[in-house]
Amino acid sequence: MRKSALLAGLVLAAAPGLAHADNPWDGGDAAAGKAVFVKCSLCHYAEAGKVKIGPPLWGVVGRPSGSVPGYPYSSAMKAYNHVWTPENLFVYLAGPMKVVPGTKMAFVGLADATDRKNVIAYLETLK
């Protein structure tokens, strides 16, 4: 088992309620997610090619982690080697520093599962 897959499994096992055992992703409300995204917008743009402290989140769903050209990712994020699926984002956004120790993303995370689902639904519209 890959180290990153094991880590994601440990995060889910250590934090019951982060996801349903059978299907961690069952969608969300994009309009509500846009309101939650205000927290993300402190460091991320929702537009292509615009960089703040963090990389742009335009097109993030389906994109490989650490892959925005020219953005100076941490070595931890470069090594993470995942595709940002809704399921991976759901786990990551619960505690970025726990899922990718050493990431530059100094955000505690979104504890509320509904907020995570909603912001991911919004991110899915950014194409």
Mean pLDDT of the region 97-122: 96
Judge whether residue 13 has pLDDT over 90: no
The two three-digit tokens of residue 30, written as one number: 């994009």
Mean pLDDT of the region 99-107: 95
Beta partners for residue 64, in sequence order: 83
What's the farthest any 2 CA atoms get from each other in the chain? 37
CB 63 within 8 A of CB 91: no
**Alpha-carbon distance 16 to 4, whole Å?**
19
Q: What would the pLDDT profile of 45-102 be if each residue is shown by its tens digit?
A: 999 999 999 999 999 999 999 999 999 999 999 999 999 999 999 999 999 999 999 9
CB 47 within 8 A of CB 58: yes
pLDDT at 27: 85
pTM: 0.80
The two three-digit tokens of residue 46, written as one number: 């929702």
Scanning the structure block, which residue is given the tokens 């912001």? 119
Structural domains of the chain, with CATH? 1-10+44-127 (1.10.760.10)
pLDDT at 25: 61
Q: What would the pLDDT profile of 15-38 be if each residue is shown by its tens digit?
A: 433 443 344 567 899 999 999 999
CB atoms within 10 A of CB 30: 17
Q: Is 76 helix (H, G, I), strand (E, B) or coil?
A: helix
Closest by CA position to 47, among listed 61, 37, 57, 60: 57
